[in-house]
Amino acid sequence: MDIIAYFQSITLLDITKVLLVLLLLVYMLFALLMMKQIAAMTKAITMKDDVIIRTLGVLNFVFATVVFLIAIFIL
C-alpha cells in the first residue's frame, strides 16, 4: 500500500476516535492514581468514614475502565 494514499485516507473522524480513546486512557490512569492516593491517605489518617471514600474511588476506577473498554470495542 502506498504511504501517501494511506495518509490521505485518514479523516477527521479517525483522528477524533484516536484522541477520544487516548483521553479515556488518561482518565483511567488518573482514576488508578486516585485510588492509590486514597489508600495512602487512609493509611496515614484515621477516619470513621474511610470505607465510603474507598468505595467511591473503586467505583470511579471501575467506571473509567468500563468506559475505556466500551470505547475500544465500539470505536
Q: pLDDT tens digits, residue range 12-59?
A: 999 999 999 999 999 999 999 999 999 999 989 988 888 999 999 999
Q: How far apart are the first and last CA of the chain?
A: 24
Number of domains in the chain: 1
Mean predicted confidence (pLDDT) in 47-74? 95
Distance, CA of 10 to CA of 58 (rounded, Å): 37
Distance, CA of 42 to CA of 51 (rounded, Å): 9
CA angle 61, 74, 64 (to 5 degrees): 5
**Which pTM does this prediction carry?**
0.85
Q: Which domain holds residue 45?
A: 3-74
Q: How much is the pLDDT for 1? A: 66
